[in-house]
A and B are shown apart, each in its own frame.
Chain A
């Protein structure tokens, strides 16, 4: 009877999780969806606590309380600009839980496990351990505890592949003879090292792909836990997470016109810089503009399309962007935002920042929606974006970003670029947009430039 109740609660939880994700198909239903997801989680926890194997509650309560004491303050006080690193670190926590449960299962059976169960357990700790260190590295890079630039060294790919093969060999041996703790812990050790090494060569602009991939791995680890424990709600919830992360990684890779393999084994910078040097050598002029003149242009524009990039997140100037929008609208213009799928450090990063600054979401446009509208725009205002508006992706077959879908900012009647200096973007590629005769550059810290622009629009 009790088992029956538990199974019903689990089934309800699984259905609620799916409904929660379905709610996310529109901002109007998303919050209600999340509420259903929370109820689902509650049901799953209640169902588990009814489990006849659970005989003591002291450690459970301690864990729940400490976890909440850490989780709640982070959720309440974390600034929205820190969303990418919070996401990375919470992938770590999820994967850590799965890995520890796996180790606990292995140790309590002293490795005396059937082959199939050992295979599931192996997957669980492999994906889990790799995600723990990989996510921690991603977090450290995003939080700038370590250099966020790609770190490469000789024979990097060869040694990484050798480690992968090593872990895979241990895994196979372990399935054949499960009762060998040294193999088990050796495999976990290798997976931990691999997690660090695969994220080392990842640069900031590749983060959206890596975060999505780690999201997927964390889900797969949870799902494998379900196989080990024979628990369907774990399998289903893990599979949902795995599918979501997988889908996002594909979308992000497509938006950068790169394959998974290329992101993970690519060390993007090296060849890119070689060709960039050649392109930069041409004597191309740039046109600087004062904030006053730029403000006058904005004040008399009918349609302004703002193109935000990671630079906006770094300068934390989304509120000033919103203020500028208000003043342009007061002058009778319309402001729209063009969001490239990989702008920022995680999928959807720009949308969250702009929503925080009170920009209505019907002003935020996806690349495919907004691209045809650039032709009718009086001003494209590029704030801290570079590679996502580089026409080389369309025109120069030799460019490392050739083929990447971009925002057609160069189709606007005029383009104003807010930039700190003429340093090339992440890919180290010269951007012809900056040398376009229609383009004018407004140099300086984005926040200061925006404040001046707002004043200029007011005065115009």
Chain B
């Protein structure tokens, strides 16, 4: 682990903060749902644990982690899209 990781974390946090302050309150629920899906990125770590054949414990833990993270990613993106589809301006209706 290098100090670079901390740089990446802090800078990503700043970028996130800047981008997210521009999200209107109207979309706060889809925002949370979307960031939740993105945090399913734990899937990346889970895949390695499940597939690397370190030992049986790691594989099983990895398998459960892959399942949990997949629920998050797949469900999260789909439901965010379902919500966003409902948001329409007045002139787009009818």
Interface residues of A (CB under 8 A from B): 14, 17-18, 20-22, 24-27, 30-31, 34, 37-38, 40-41, 44-45, 47-49, 51, 53-57, 59-60, 62-64, 66-68, 70-72, 74-76, 78, 80, 83, 86-87, 90-91, 93-94, 96-98, 100-101, 103-105, 107-108, 114, 116-117, 120, 211-212, 215, 218-219, 221-223, 225-248, 251, 339, 341, 346-349, 351-352, 355-356, 358, 360-364, 366
Contacts and interface: CB of A to CB of B under 8 A. Distances in A.
A53 B83 contact: no
Contacts of B70: 63-64, 66-68, 71
A142 B19 CA distance: 29
24 contacts: A18-B15, A21-B19, A24-B31, A53-B52, A55-B53, A60-B47, A80-B83, A97-B40, A100-B49, A100-B62, A104-B65, A116-B1, A215-B35, A221-B42, A228-B1, A230-B1, A237-B39, A239-B10, A247-B20, A248-B32, A347-B25, A351-B27, A360-B90, A362-B89
A215 B16 contact: no
- When A and B form their complex, which 5 residue pairs have the shortest distance between CB atoms, in order from nearest? A67-B70, A63-B66, A348-B28, A71-B75, A243-B16
Contacts of B93: 358, 360
Contacts of A86: 75, 79
B57 A108 contact: yes
Centre residue among A97, A245, A248 by max chain B CB count within 10 A: A97
Contacts of A87: 29, 32-33, 36
Contact of B72 (A18, A56, A66, A90): A90
A63 B36 contact: no
Given A93-B40, A212-B32, 7 more contacts: A96-B65, A100-B64, A100-B65, A101-B45, A227-B1, A228-B45, A248-B31
A54 B62 CA distance: 12
Interface string B29-63: 11111111111111111111111111101111111
A91 to B, nearest CB: 6
B37 A54 contact: no
Contacts of B15: 18, 240
Contacts of A67: 66-71, 73-74
Nearest to B88: A360
A108 B41 contact: no
Contacts of B35: 21, 215, 219, 240-241, 244-245
A261 to B, nearest CB: 21
Contacts of A54: 47-48, 51-52
A248 B89 contact: no
A233 B19 CA distance: 17
Contact of B29 (A21, A63, A222, A349): A349
Interface string B14-26: 1111011111111
A245 B13 CA distance: 11
Nearest to A51: B48
Given A72-B75, A108-B57, A347-B25, A247 B17 contact: yes
Given A60-B50, A63-B67, A362-B90, A24 B34 contact: yes
Contacts of B49: 100-101, 104-105
A90 B71 contact: yes
A346 B29 contact: yes
Contacts of A219: 35, 39
A71 B78 contact: yes
Given A27-B87, A222-B39, A347-B28, A227 B5 contact: yes
Nearest to A63: B66
A356 to B, nearest CB: 5
Contacts of B39: 94, 215, 218-219, 222, 237-238, 241
Contact of B75 (A17, A74, A228, A349): A74
Nearest to B76: A90
Contacts of A238: 39, 41
Given A83-B83, A234-B42, A339-B25, A90 B36 contact: yes
B81 A34 contact: yes
A245 B34 CA distance: 11
B27 to A, nearest CB: 5
Contact of A93 (B69, B89, B92): B69
